Structure 1
């Protein structure tokens, strides 16, 4: 894709934790094994029920990583990107459990901008989980499903940390070749949001 930022340009690479396994420990057979299988499937269904709009079948098949991408999306990519995008499903090649294709629903104007930030977004996801869970993004331009629109108001967001001089200069240099000033400003805004996430908290070890 044209004008794609260099993956190595992130101010700091994350060292994420390996996602816990979703397997049920212990051997089971007969009624005991069936009961544990039912509990595991029930757990996957309960996760999907908490997140309207996600692909429930994908969560049931792919387990922990797919569910966490959906539930932790704002923590992974930052609130600015999360408000305009929504992960739909994570698909892997037959027999594989890594380097999958993540389908993301995006608001119309964001699609072009997110194409430029694809390497950084993939790095954010893989750094969050500690392995190459995602190799590419597939973008779908469609309205974002917003659960709980009529629910209670959330607390105000804390102030965002400013970028340091090195981060600002690096971002300016990467976007200098983009002639459209409006597109360059949007990419600059999204780039700042991604760089701020370098200080985000990793998921707790389970």
Structure 2
């Protein structure tokens, strides 16, 4: 039986994401970010290690709208390390866009404290997952125990753990 999402707006409530989506999109587009997900999920897209040393600043489009340049901000000390990662960053960002939108990634350097107005911090906030209780872990393992393929069973257990963790954090 398919799960249907109840329209909460008929009860006078709207999800916060619905209220902020247009404002986030407008603010993103002024900086050249056609896909605001690049800003809001930067650590997930490029990885926590890269997000700790670099932040997206701007996307500038060339003539015709193709071959955009992504500008990332980092500290002077981290720039050489980031330079090595540029092809991988470009690949991951283009995967976020869904097509080969970014042709070049450019590095801009700043002091470790960032710009004077906003004071950018170069540490990504790692999300901590709530721990599962032993009974929940046993339930997950019991559910997947009949799967013969070890790889598939492990994948299903990991999926079950992710689902249980996500439901706990909401």
TM-score (norm. length: structure 1): 0.42
- Aligned partner of 1:108 in structure 2 is 76
Deviation at 1:120, TM superposition (A): 1.1
Assess, with a 3 A threshold, how the Cα gap between structure 1 residues 95 and 76 changes in structure 2: closer, same or farther: same
TM-score (norm. length: structure 2): 0.50
C-alpha separation in 1, matches of 2:89 and 2:33: 21
Equivalent residue in structure 2 for 1:78, among 47, 58, 69:
47
C-alpha separation in 1, matches of 2:130 and 2:86: 26
Indicate whether 1:69 and 2:38 are aligned. Answer: yes
C-alpha separation in 1, matches of 2:105 and 2:60: 10
Deviation at 1:94, TM superposition (A): 2.7
Secondary structure at 1:95 match in 2: helix
Deviation at 1:127, TM superposition (A): 1.8
C-alpha separation in 1, matches of 2:57 and 2:68: 13
Deviation at 1:114, TM superposition (A): 1.3
Gaps of 5+ in 1: 1-41, 50-55, 159-206
Secondary structure at 2:99 match in 1: coil
C-alpha separation in 1, matches of 2:55 and 2:31: 19
C-alpha separation in 2, matches of 1:43 and 1:135: 27
- Aligned partner of 1:47 in structure 2 is 24
Matched ranges for 1:84-103 at <5 A: 84-96=53-65, 98-103=66-71
Instruction: Give 4+ residue runs of structure 1 displaced > 3 Å after superposition.
Output: 60-64
Assess, with a 3 A threshold, how the Cα gap between structure 1 residues 106 and 43 changes in structure 2: closer, same or farther: same
Q: Cα RMSD over matched residues?
A: 3.4
Assess, with a 3 A threshold, how the Cα gap between structure 1 residues 90 and 155 changes in structure 2: closer, same or farther: same
Q: Which has the higher contact order (CA 8 A, sep 6+)?
A: 1
C-alpha separation in 1, matches of 2:106 and 2:130: 29
CA offset digits 1:116-166 (Å, max 9, x no partner)? 12111111111222201211111111134139x9xxx953699xxxxxxxx
Gaps of 5+ in 2: 1-19, 115-119, 132-170
Secondary structure at 1:76 match in 2: helix
